[in-house]
């Protein structure tokens, strides 16, 4: 069996996303299953080392992941030819400079989003990676979720006819921390630490909308700080000055209107924490993270407005579930495997740092739109 061992410097695995999704459920899971199988006699095997600033956390996580090596000296690892990939899941404020150092060391780059604090900075690291000739990619995990894969299948099959509009609803109630423990880190609600739901979620909505419904050409966005008083991990009260909800409308190059609400201050009355309702001339669909259901034009009930009587239609019962059309693995793991194949085999990979910069740009424009109370065009990044 031919084995391609790929050394990966994993920076930021002491955080929730870095540890759970990227290390445990992706890289460590790939190792447990025997690598990425390329053919009957060829595999790609990740060889990770964990890096960070907290020795105790690193040691504990390394042991949980099966006894992986770890270090607090990132510079030494960047100088080690054993490691060809640098992965970054640190806070956004640390990411760009770390990526620049890794590019200068000749490492391939894979990192979380947002890739930088500004689109200018995001494009700078994208160009640096391109000019250095290293492989580069950014996390766009939602594209591999089962629900969105089903939606892509419906689009490819022409189920909708002409797509008219999209409504996306994301969010849940994040406890303030006074009486219940937090589900999200407290820095998410402080501007000085890079917090805010616009910065977080509009990066996601950019690649979701661009890939499914066409490139976004204009945006209107309203942000809000609905819950200004919160308590941190140590129980200390603080002023939450970043936006905890965003109400955005996008128009794509295809003329499709997409409305996306994102909130950490909403109580869920949906089947899943994220759902999209897509309306077309020949049918509609509601898809979530894992599920999807459809209603075709021939199955659409006749709705008549009459508030004086109970509505005779059972609208929810008129939708049909979309069956599983493929076996879907963890979305982060799927993208990791694609990036490893890109590095080792040279297979095409389009989810690059340049693509990720578009998400940073949309978040910037969302904040600008909020401040100006205005619609803004989304220019092409160059």
DSSP strand pairing (292-296 vs 283-288): antiparallel
Task: Return the DSSP state at 271.
Answer: S
**Which pair of tokens denotes residue 106?**
């000749």
**Which pair of tokens denotes residue 169?**
């609803």
Q: What are phi and psi of 318, to 5 degrees?
A: -90, 15
Which pLDDT score, from 0 to 100, does residue 2 have?
Answer: 87
Smallest CA-to-CA distance from 111 within 353, 329, 348, 337 is with 353
Which pLDDT score, from 0 to 100, does residue 328 have?
Answer: 86
Extended strands (E) in the chain:
2-11, 36-39, 42-51, 70-71, 83-88, 108-111, 136-138, 163-171, 216-224, 229-231, 237-239, 245-252, 257-263, 274-280, 283-288, 292-296, 320-321, 376-377
**Which pair of tokens denotes residue 220?**
């209107």
**Which pair of tokens denotes residue 112?**
């979380």
Which pLDDT score, from 0 to 100, does residue 327 have?
Answer: 83
Which pLDDT score, from 0 to 100, does residue 291 have?
Answer: 96
Residue pLDDT, tens place only, 86-112: 999 998 999 999 999 999 999 999 999
Alpha-carbon distance of 199 to 195, in angstroms, equals 7
Taking CA 27 as the corner, what is the angle to CA 26 and CA 33, rounded to the nearest 5 degrees? Answer: 85
Confidence (pTM): 0.94
Please name the residues in contact with 174: beta carbons below 8 A apart, sequence gap of 6 or more. 182, 183, 184, 244, 264, 265
Let me know if domain 2-141+330-351 sits in CATH 3.10.270.10: no
**Which pair of tokens denotes residue 91?**
């806070």
Taking CA 335 as the corner, what is the angle to CA 361 and CA 52, rounded to the nearest 5 degrees? Answer: 75
Instruction: Supply the DSSP string of 158-225, one letter for each residue.
Output: TTTSSEEEEEEEEE-BPP-SSSS--SS-GGGG-GGGT--HHHHHHHHHHHHHHHHH--EEEEEEEEE-
* Residue 312: count of CB within 10 angstroms of its CB: 10
Residue pLDDT, tens place only, 131-182: 999 999 999 999 999 999 999 999 999 999 999 999 999 999 999 999 999 9
- Where the chain has pLDDT below 70, the residues are none
Task: Name the residue ranges covered by the structural domains of the chain.
Answer: 2-141+330-351, 143-328+361-376
Helix (H) or strand (E) holding 334: helix 331-345
Distances (CA, A) of 22 to 127, 235, 293, 305, 343: 25, 29, 30, 49, 17
Residue that has been written with the tokens 């000749």 in this structure: 106
Taking CA 7 as the corner, what is the angle to CA 5 and CA 8, rounded to the nearest 5 degrees? Answer: 135
Q: Are 238 and 232 a contacting pair, CB within 8 Å?
A: yes
Alpha-carbon distance of 4 to 193, in angstroms, equals 39
Q: What are phi and psi of 311, to 5 degrees?
A: -65, 125
Which pLDDT score, from 0 to 100, does residue 97 have?
Answer: 96
What is the fold, at CATH topology level, of the domain defined by 143-328+361-376? Dihydrodipicolinate Reductase; domain 2 (3.30.360)
Give per-residue burial for 13-29: e unless 16+ CB within 10 Å, then b.
bbbebbbebbbbbbbbb
């Amino acid at each position: 069996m031919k084995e391609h061992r790929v050394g990966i410097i994993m920076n930021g695995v002491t955080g929730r996303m870095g540890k759970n999704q990227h290390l445990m459920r992706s890289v460590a899971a790939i190792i447990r299953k025997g690598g990425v199988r390329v053919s009957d006699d060829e595999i790609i095997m990740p060889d990770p080392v964990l890096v960070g600033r907290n020795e105790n956390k690193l040691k504990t996580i390394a042991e949980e992941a099966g006894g992986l090596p770890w270090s607090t000296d990132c510079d030494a690892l960047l100088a080690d030819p054993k490691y060809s990939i640098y992965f970054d899941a640190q806070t956004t404020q640390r990411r760009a400079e770390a990526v620049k150092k890794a590019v200068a060391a000749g490492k391939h780059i894979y990192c979380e989003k947002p890739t930088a604090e500004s689109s200018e900075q995001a494009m700078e690291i994208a160009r640096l990676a391109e000019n250095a000739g290293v492989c580069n990619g950014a996390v766009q995990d939602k594209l591999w979720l089962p629900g969105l894969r089903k939606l892509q299948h419906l689009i490819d099959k022409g189920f909708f006819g002409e797509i008219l509009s999209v409504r996306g609803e994301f969010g849940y109630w994040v406890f303030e921390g006074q009486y219940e423990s937090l589900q999200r880190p407290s820095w998410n609600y402080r501007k000085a630490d890079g917090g805010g739901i616009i910065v977080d979620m509009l990066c996601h909505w950019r690649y979701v909308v661009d890939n499914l419904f066409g490139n976004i050409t204009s945006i209107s966005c309203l942000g809000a700080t609905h819950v200004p008083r919160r308590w941190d991990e140590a129980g200390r009260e603080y002023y939450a000055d970043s936006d905890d909800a965003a109400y955005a409308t996008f128009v794509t190059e295809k003329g499709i209107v997409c409305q996306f609400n994102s909130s950490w201050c909403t109580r869920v009355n949906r089947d899943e924490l994220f759902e999209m309702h897509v309306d077309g001339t020949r049918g509609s669909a509601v898809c979530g993270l894992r599920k999807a259901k459809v209603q075709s034009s021939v199955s659409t009930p006749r709705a008549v407005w009459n508030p004086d009587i109970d509505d005779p239609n059972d609208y929810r019962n008129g939708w049909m579930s979309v069956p599983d059309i493929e076996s879907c693995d963890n979305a982060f793991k799927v993208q990791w495997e694609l990036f490893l194949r890109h590095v080792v085999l040279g297979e095409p990979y389009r989810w690059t740092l340049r693509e990720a910069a578009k998400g940073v740009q949309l978040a910037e424009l969302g904040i600008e739109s909020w401040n100006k109370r205005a619609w803004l065009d989304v220019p092409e990044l160059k």
